[in-house]
Structure 1
Amino acid sequence: MEKRKDILVDDSNELEFINGDFAVGNSDIQHIDHIIIAQKGEYKQTPQMGLGVINYLKSNTDKSKFQRDVRIQLNYDGYENPNIDLSEGFERLKIEI
């Protein structure tokens, strides 16, 4: 899959600027972060997209269900066969696309 480019945001989700203009660059990690954090229905164009990770952290979800749900959500945005690593727990989730 070709790397995606988009307007970038910083760790606080504030727009990044370079020389007074929007910063543009590789945005795959940013897209994945937003999908993982978003609740279902937050994306108007794709209402089924959004994992809502906070709901998983507050529940007793098993790793295989969590991995399956992450994979489904990333597939909605075109990320096929992501490698989802939970070997260090939910808080240290690693995703390779």
Structure 2
Amino acid sequence: MTPFEWILAACIAVMAVSLLSGLVLVLRTDDVLTRAVLSDLVFYAMICIFLTWTLTNPTSIGYEVALLAAIAGGVLPTLSMARIISKGRR
């Protein structure tokens, strides 16, 4: 492994720990707003892990998947968070 791959592996490990701690907190909390924010954290952590993984493993569709997830991840969580905060009122 090259030094760059070691750095990427360390970054993926840190992101995985963050993702797992977010999942544990989602399961332990009762607050709906906290769960919504943590679900965004888990989603973005998965995108980051995938994008970091594609830097050393060439795929034909890797960046397209990441861009689609970023677009969907930017709009949909904002709308769902607004609905949760307003308790479903329009």
Q: Normalising by the residue count of structure 1, what TM-score does the alignment of the two structures yield? A: 0.30
Structure with the higher fraction of residues in helix conformation: 2
Higher relative contact order (CA 8 A, sep 6+): 2
The structure richer in strand per residue is: 1
